[in-house]
Structure 1
């Protein structure tokens, strides 16, 4: 068994669950979001937009819960051998992801409100409008939502690139700390 210095403590199973459920939802939302905008007007487009909004709100709830969880259960420290710039980049990327995981669903919720479209979460729970209907505000929020989605795609790509770098090239075990069967 390695000494304390050689041991890489993994994330708590709760943190792993939040991470992987959110990751799957976000990847699905990004893919569906790109696809749905090109659909012809009709029942399918209406249904897909509804599901996109519902899952977006799930991501908002998961992210708030995940931040609460992280506050109550701080993540393990990064390995001491990691250069300072990589530590700073990792922290900046994670907090940027958290910001975008909050900003994306909130901008979508605001956009939906400005469109004057009623929203019932999963068809049952009424979601209050955050702003009154306003076509100009809707167009602005649509642009904001689109820009945030592109930023989110870029940060997710960087995150995945860092995983590949650490797991395949450096083989330093950082990825395994968050993998479902990783060390704890």
Structure 2
């Protein structure tokens, strides 16, 4: 089995790119976990309503940060992938990143549309009322809820693939890709 030639590059992402990456990643994990927990609570309870609010706030924050991240990515060249990577691996990396960006945007938007169609207002941080995008429509709400859930499962799969690729390139190919996205170390 042929392994890639290790490429030890010191090129890192910018501090802004790293901060946006880790902030969005942490918020998406928190939002996913909270979504899972809140939907398992039976009935309408104060705790469930509080979790729904937090989930929406996380979604709005992810959307804003994902847009900032996309803008940063478009205006700042990321470090090159190692020369030792095969062409198909580079193509897979670019496709995987594109999918992650699509999901970072589509999941909060689908949640926002679902909330609007369900006739529930979004009041960001309990202070800023956001506009209602879609009139209340129970049938549309049901469809949008399903879309929102399946996009999240798609994100789970895309993140798993992303993490497996990091492990492969870090441990097996010794390409040190992880260091490019870590704020500490060289």
TM-score under structure 1 length normalisation: 0.94
Partner of 1:162: 165
Mapped pair 1:28 → 2:66: no
Distance in 2 separating the partners of 1:74 and 1:27:
26
Q: CA deviation at 1:72?
A: 1.5
Counterpart in the other structure of 1:111: 114
On the 8 A contact 1:8/1:79 being kept in 2, the answer is no
Change (3 A) 1:159 1:7: closer
Deviations 1:69-102 (A, max 9, x none): 1112121111111100000000000000000000
Which moves more between the two structures, 100-109 or 21-30? 21-30
Correspondences of 1:3-22 after superposition (within 5 Å): 7-22=9-24
Structure 2 stretches lacking a partner, 5+ long: 1-6
- Cα contact 1:114–1:137 (8 A) shared by 2: yes
CA gap 1:6/1:39 in 2 versus in 1, 3 angstroms = closer
In structure 1, how many angstroms separate the alpha carbons of the residues matched to 2:152 and 2:11? 32
Residue 40 of structure 1 and its aligned partner are, at CA, apart by 2.0
Counterpart of 1:90 (choices 65, 88, 93) is 93
Say yes or no: does 1:58 pair with 2:61. Answer: yes
Deviation at 1:7, TM superposition (A): 3.3
Report the RMSD for the aligned CA atoms in angstroms: 1.2
Segments of 5+ residues of structure 1 without an aligned counterpart are none
The answer to whether the 8 Å contact 2:8/2:175 transfers is no
Query: Match of 2:136?
Result: 133
- How many angstroms apart in 2 are the aligned matches of 1:93 and 1:62? 19
Distance verdict in 2 for CA 1:145–1:181, change over 3 Å:
same
The number of aligned residues is 179
